Structure formats: structure tokens, C-alpha cells
Amino acid sequence: MKGKRVLIINRGEIAIRVAKALNELGLVSVGVWTDNETEPPHLEYCQEWVHLKGNNNKETYLDIPKIMTLITDFKIDAVHPGYGFLSENKEFSETLAKKGIIFIGPNPVAVHKMGAKDISKQIAKEAGVPVVPGSIGEVPTVEEAIKIGNKFGYPILLKAVAGGGGKGMRPCYNDKDVRDNFAAVQREALSSFGYAALLVEKYILNPHHIEVQILADKKGNVYHLFERECSIQRRHQKILEEAPSPFIGTDEALRKEICETAVKCAKAVNYDSAGTVEFIMGEDKKFYFLEMNTRIQVEHPITEEITGIDLLANMIKVAFGEPLDFKSQDDIKIHGHAIELRICAEDPITMLPAPGRIVGFETTFPQGIRFDHCIYPKFTITPDFDPMLGKLIAKGFNRDVAIRKIKNALDGLIIDGIKTNIALHKVILNEKTFIKGEYSTSYITTIKPQEKVAAKEEIQAFMLKVAAIEMNQVGGLS
Amino acid sequence: MRYYFINQDMKEFSLDVEVQAGKVMEFAYEGAKTKLFIKKLAGKNYYSFDQVAWKKLPSLGVNETLVSNSEVYKVYRGYKPSGLNKGGAGALITHMPGKIVKLYKKEGDKVTKGETVLILEAMKMENEIKSGADGVIKTVNIKEGQAVEAGFLMIEIEE
């Protein structure tokens, strides 16, 4: 495995995380840069930098023929797709397999079966895993979607077949909603994932989003690394995650049941990499299979923190046929509690993306903090990419300690020049439903922490800005 | 030196500052005076109001925007700009850079308040831009597929 050349076909914090793991394992990390991001911070961690020509994602991170040319030209042995972009694209994994290039992820058949949400549901059903009622396969027309809406009863959810991360997904409450949103979700699906097909399912109210981390090797061993709770979401996108789930809490029988169900799903497709089985759990603690993400996920660090297992390194090792760092399910234990906050360039109240230029960045963190990010002063956030800048992760002896640590870390995280959701996270961490651990996915829409985001003490903020500008004028202090 | 801070809604603050030897700044705001002390430590600037409690001054001061949670102020050093226009309910202005995905109306079309006029894609999200007033489309400065900067006047509606 040592010395093999691995192309990272991603950007931002995940490209940095992958590059670090590759370097640690003695592989050659090859990063890319594009014409709409000529100074990406992830290159700092890559041993080789390659130009991926193009001005938008369709011409760069989603352009399979162009990526295949790079692979040939630069003698690449393996590819890590990160998350998003081509990470769950069956055409990409098949093309790589045909050329004999290692895809650091599951085999193409698993990507195909689980990556396409319509087929995955059928497989889960056949494996005896409960699923949410919905369309079987792709829904080609608005009329078809309306028919399903009336069959299962509204609300329903329109979802991109190739989707994930909350993109290309909208709830509809009546026939008119479906008519208004169908074409828009198709367009979002096409621009984000390169594939426009949609599916429809029943929308369960106030569920908990609980997912189980899977790690499997090429010899048929499938392990789980316990669950994560990701119920705090806006626009179906997670903003705060924790492991283990406070909703499952001390119910070890339920924890065992959901984790073993996830292993069953993974085994049904001969899964052989890192992946995540997502479930929704109702108030009655009944859970349904939602989808399986056949890639590394944004929130993987909290699982790494509570289990002590490096998911990225293990994912890379198994792709090259090497053994995992551990030998049995009994080697994997939960130690303490971890919380992750997604730090995004967005308005803390409206939660809409707010691109801009970072002019200042400072961190002062307590013990137990990890910050996976791509931030640096003078970094310009453009509307071309996702607004997530980094992930602040706290590990504590228990949940209370993790909350205490992450609150202190947030006070020490200063990003100047752009709007961020730091102020929103501060409200959530002090809100009683969150502290009790009793929140569901409707948290943002019902508790509305965004409405409690207060304006800062403005005059003091003005003085500090003036001080910074004046320091710049006089060339700083000697 | 007088500084002006003006936000999206034309809310305005002004603040006077006097810099003494680059280490002490005296601010005057609404008649009250405040001293701010600056000290350099390990390559970074620290500030203090009492010379006992010190905190990092993170900003490089290179851009002229102050972001305070969800408020954005433009900063003007030594002068106040004239001719700033917020635009009425009939002016559709971009609040963030993006791309026009769909344009439903053309010049001369009637619109009602709350009607979707166009779809703007920014950061992979589609945003429906709605008319703020009843009226007739007077000018259209955009076309489908066009990339637009923040603060761009896309459409004007005559009420």
C-alpha cells in the first residue's frame, strides 16, 4: 500500500482530513485545484497539486471524463471522493473499476444498490428491516407523485434519488405543493448530483434522525461503531450532531437492536468500506430504515472520538485490502460523549448562506477539542460551494462535560468578516430542550433558537473594528 | 478621526477615535469617552479596556464591513457617503451573489405582491425571489443563466 498515489477529488475540510490520513499511512496525497478556487487551503496538506480545469462543479468535481484523464496523466492508483460530489455516483465507481483504479469506498455494486435510494429501500425490506412507506423506484412525473401523495396521505417528501446531505429534498403538504416544487427539486438534483430522478415517501412528523456507523473489510467482516444522533437540522441538513444518542440514552437493548439492524443492511449488499445506515425513530422508539450513505460522512469525527478508531485511515486501509486496526466487534466500545457543531458561513437568524471574505480568525480552545476546518484569514467564501467551513468537535467524559467544553470552545472561536452560525450554536447549547437531550428533527422549526440570537453589544464591536482598521493604517505596533 | 457605520436598513452610528502613540485609543460615542489599550503579544494584537483583562483583536481590518451576528455594517473612515439608496419595495436587489435559474416575468408584465418573479440559486440552494409590491415590471436587468453580484438591482417594479 505504501507509496501508492491517491487522488483526492474533493475540497474544503474533508480534503484536508483525507490528505492527513493518506500522509499518515505513507501514501502520496494528490490534491486538485480549480479555476474558481485557485488557492484552496487543502493543498497545504497534499504532497502533489494537480489542476482540474473548469469554472463550475459540473466542469470540475463532477466531470468524470476529465477526472479519468487526470488519473491517467498523473499515474494515480486510487481515488478518495470525500463526501458529496461523486462520492455516491455509480457511474464513477464503475468507470474506476473498469480501469483498475481503486475507489476508496465500497464496491460499485454496493454503491449502485445503496447509493440509489429507491433500490436501497427494496433491499432493506427484503432483509427484514422496517422502511418508511413511499414510492418503489423513481417517480418520473408530477402526476405520479401526486397519486402517491394521495395514496399514503400528505405530507410527503420529494427526494433526489442520488441525493444526500439534505440537498434536493422538499416536503409537500398538498397537490399544489407537489406541482410547485417538482421541477425545482429535479433541477437541484441535476446541479448537485448530476442526476435528476426523484422519489417520493411519507413524511414522518417530529422524528429523531439516528444513524449507525459501519466499517467493513473486503473479507466479509462488517462491524458497527455505534450510533450518532443528528436530529438538529435546518432545511433537512444537520447542524449539530452527537454520539451516542441522548434519545436512546441508557436503553442498551434498543442501541443493540438498531446497531445490529444496520449491520444486517450492510451485509445485504456485501458492504466493504466505511458507510452509514440512517434511520428515523419516532417518539415511540420504533425506527425505520431511511437510506445508507456509501461514503464517509461529515459527522464521522464524533464516532472517532467516542470509539478511538480512525475511520478515514481504516477506510483507506481496507480499500487496499489491508486489515482493520481492530479484530472484533468486542474491541469497539463507547468511551464518553462527543458533540460536533457545523460552522457555516450563513446568517445565524435566517440560516441562509452568506458568502464573503474572512478577515480575522482566532482560536482559543480547552482540552478535548478538535477543529476540522479550512479557514484562514483572507479566505473568500464564494457561492460556488457549500457554506460549511469546519466542524468543531468536543469530547467529554459524559454529555454534560462535552457540552461544557464545546460552549467554552465556541467562546474562543472568532471568525471575523463574514456572518457565521456561531451565535445560533451558542443559543442552542444554552437551550433547555437541547440540554435535556429531548430534541427531534422539528427542533429548529418548533423551538426556534434562531429567534433568540441577540445582536452583539454593538458599540464595543464598532470600537474593535475601528481599532483593527487604525492598527492597519499605522502599520501595527512595533 | 470619525467613523461611520451604516447597515442594510440605513441604521447609522458614528464614532470618534483619537489614537495616542498607536497604543491607546480614545473613543467618543454620544458624549461618553472610553479608552482602549492595545498590546502586542506573540505576533498578535490584544485589547483591553482596563489594562488588566486582555483579549485577542482578531480582525485584520482589511475589509470595510463589520458583521455583528446577523447585522452587516459598511464602515466609512472619515467621511459619510452620499446617494446611498436602499431601494423601495419595487426594487428586487440581490442580497448574496448567485445565479439566475429561472425568470418568470418580462418587461411590461403585471405582478402582485408576494408573487414569485425569479429563482436565484446561491450556494446550491434555490431561492424564490418574490415581488414586494403590486405593479408593472419597469426594467429587467438580468437573463436566465446570468451570474449576479450581491447588491445588484435585478428588476424594478413600478407601483
A350 shares a domain with A275:
yes
Which pLDDT value is given to residue A134? 83
A140 lies in a domain?
yes
Beta strands at A237-243 and A274-281: parallel, antiparallel or unpaired: unpaired
B123–A355 C-beta distance less than 8 A: yes
- Name the domain boundary from B19, B48, B77: B77
Burial class, A50, CB count within 10 angstroms (exposed 0-12 / middle 13-18 / buried 19+): middle
Which pLDDT value is given to residue A135? 82
B98 shares a domain with B71:
no
CA gyration radius for chain B? 22
Of the candidates A16, A17, A15, A56, the residue with the CA atom closest to the CA atom of residue A34:
A56
- Name the domain boundary from B50, B77, B104: B77
- What's the rounded Cα separation, in Å, for the pair A270 and A264? 10
Question: What's the CATH code of the domain at A144?
Answer: 3.30.1490.20
Q: What is the pLDDT confidence band of residue A476, given thresholds at 50, 70 and 90?
A: very low
B154 shares a domain with B99:
yes
Which pLDDT value is given to residue B31? 85
A159 shares a domain with A302:
no
A218 shares a domain with A294:
yes
A215 shares a domain with A196:
no
Whether A33 has a pLDDT exceeding 90, the answer reads yes
pLDDT tens digits, one per residue of A256-293? 999 999 999 999 999 999 999 999 998 889 899 999 99
A230 shares a domain with A194:
no
- Name the domain boundary from B22, B46, B77: B77
pLDDT tens digits, one per residue of A323-335? 999 999 999 999 9
Q: What is the pLDDT confidence band of residue A207, given thresholds at 50, 70 and 90?
A: very high
CB-CB contact of A204 with A287 (8 Å): no
Torsion of CA A112, A20, A233, A134, to 10 degrees: 10
A146 shares a domain with A88:
no
B72 shares a domain with B106:
no
- Block residue for cell numbers 412528523: A205
Q: What is the pLDDT confidence band of residue B90, given thresholds at 50, 70 and 90?
A: confident
B72 shares a domain with B9:
yes
A27 lies in a domain?
yes
- Block residue for cell numbers 414569485: B116
Longest dimension (CA), chain A: 74
Q: Is residue B109 helix, strand or coil?
A: coil
A119 lies in a domain?
no
Please report the residues numbered 97 through 136 in chain B whose beta carbons come closer than 8 angstroms to any beta carbon of chain A. 97-99, 101, 119, 121-127
A359 lies in a domain?
yes
- What's the rounded Cα separation, in Å, for the pair B125 and A192? 10
- Chain A nearest-CA residue for B28: A463
Active site residue A295: yes
Nearest to A472 among B40, B61, B123 (CB): B61
Cβ neighbours of residue B80 closer than 8 Å, sequence gap 6 or more: B4, B14
B138 shares a domain with B105:
yes
Q: Which domain holds residue A79?
A: 5-104
**What's the per-residue H, E or C state across chain A?**
CCCCEEEECCCHHHHHHHHHHHHHCCCEEEEEEECCECCCHHHHHCCEEEECCCCCCCCCCCCHHHHHHHHHHCCCCEEECCCCCCCCCHHHHHHHHHHCCEECCCCHHHHHHHHCHHHHHHHHHHCCCCECCECCCCECCHHHHHHHHHHHCCCEEEEEEEEECCEEEEEECCHHHHHHHHHHHHHHHHHHHCCCCEEEEECCCCCEEEEEEEEECCCCCEEEEEEEEEEEEECCEEEEEEECCCCCCCCHHHHHHHHHHHHHHHHHCCCCCEEEEEEEECCCCCEEEEEEECCCCCCHHHHHHHHCCCHHHHHHHHHCCCCCCCCCHHHCCCCCEEEEEEEECECCCCCCECCEECCEEEECCCCCEEEEECCCCCCEECCCCCCEEEEEEEEECCHHHHHHHHHHHHHCEEEECCCCCHHHHHHHHCCHHHHHCCCCCCHHHHCCHHHHCCCCCHHHHHHHHHHHHHHHHCCCCC
A287 shares a domain with A431:
yes
Nearest to A462 among B13, B40, B70 (CB): B13
Whether B85 has a pLDDT exceeding 60, the answer reads no
Question: What's the CATH code of the domain at A323?
Answer: 3.30.470.20
- pTM, two decimal places: 0.82
Tell me the mean pLDDT in the region B135-147: 88
A126 lies in a domain?
no
Please report the residues numbered 424 through 463 in chain A whose beta carbons come closer than 8 angstroms to any beta carbon of chain B. 453-456, 458-459, 461-463
Q: Which of A295, A342, A370, A399 is catalytic?
A: A295
Task: Tell me what percent of the residues of chain B surpass a pLDDT of 90.
Answer: 19
Question: What's the CATH code of the domain at A20?
Answer: 3.40.50.20
B62 shares a domain with B115:
no
B85 lies in a domain?
no
Which pLDDT value is given to residue A217? 96
A464 lies in a domain?
no
Domain count, chain A: 3
A231 shares a domain with A178:
no
Which pLDDT value is given to residue A258? 98
Q: Is residue B1 helix, strand or coil?
A: coil
Which whole-number Å values give the CA distances from B142 to B55, B85, B125, B135, in the listed order?
46, 20, 19, 19
Any idea which of A11-20, A62-71, A140-149 has the lowest mean pLDDT?
A140-149
Whether A203 has a pLDDT exceeding 70, the answer reads yes
A478 lies in a domain?
no
CB-CB contact of B140 with B103 (8 Å): yes
Q: How far away is chain A from the Cα of B104, in angstroms, using its nearest Cα?
A: 13
Which pLDDT value is given to residue B158? 83
- What's the rounded Cα separation, in Å, for the pair A100 and B115? 53
B86 lies in a domain?
no
B61 shares a domain with B29:
yes
- Name the domain boundary from A167, A202, A237: A202
B60 lies in a domain?
yes
B84 lies in a domain?
no
Cβ neighbours of residue A216 closer than 8 Å, sequence gap 6 or more: A222, A223, A266, A271, A272, A273, A275, A318
Longest dimension (CA), chain B: 65
A195 shares a domain with A222:
no
pLDDT tens digits, one per residue of A443-459? 999 999 999 998 666 78
Tell me the mean pLDDT in the region A407-424: 94
pLDDT tens digits, one per residue of A75-128? 999 999 999 999 999 999 999 999 999 999 999 999 999 877 778 888 999 999
B13 lies in a domain?
yes
Q: Which of B123, B126, B130 to mutate to test the interface with A (most CBs of A within 10 A)?
A: B123
B103 shares a domain with B65:
no
A468–B98 C-beta distance less than 8 A: no
Domain count, chain B: 2
Q: Is residue B139 helix, strand or coil?
A: strand
A265 lies in a domain?
yes
B151 shares a domain with B120:
yes
B45–A476 C-beta distance less than 8 A: yes
Q: What is the pLDDT confidence band of residue A253, given thresholds at 50, 70 and 90?
A: very high
A193 shares a domain with A246:
no
B64 shares a domain with B107:
no
CB-CB contact of A124 with A265 (8 Å): yes
Collect all residues of chain A within an 8 Å Cβ-Cβ radius of residue B13: 458-459, 462
Question: What's the CATH code of the domain at B121?
Answer: 2.40.50.100
Nearest to B70 among A192, A357, A419 (CB): A419
- Block residue for cell numbers 449539530: A240
B106 shares a domain with B72:
no
Cβ contacts below 8 Å, chain A against chain B, sum to 166
Q: Which domain holds residue B68?
A: 2-77
> Could you report how far apart the first and last alpha carbons of chain B are, in Å?
42
B154 shares a domain with B113:
yes
- What's the rounded Cα separation, in Å, for the pair A379 and A56? 18
Which pLDDT value is given to residue B87? 52
Q: What is the pLDDT confidence band of residue A477, given thresholds at 50, 70 and 90?
A: very low
Which pLDDT value is given to residue A475? 52
A265 shares a domain with A154:
no
A144 shares a domain with A251:
no
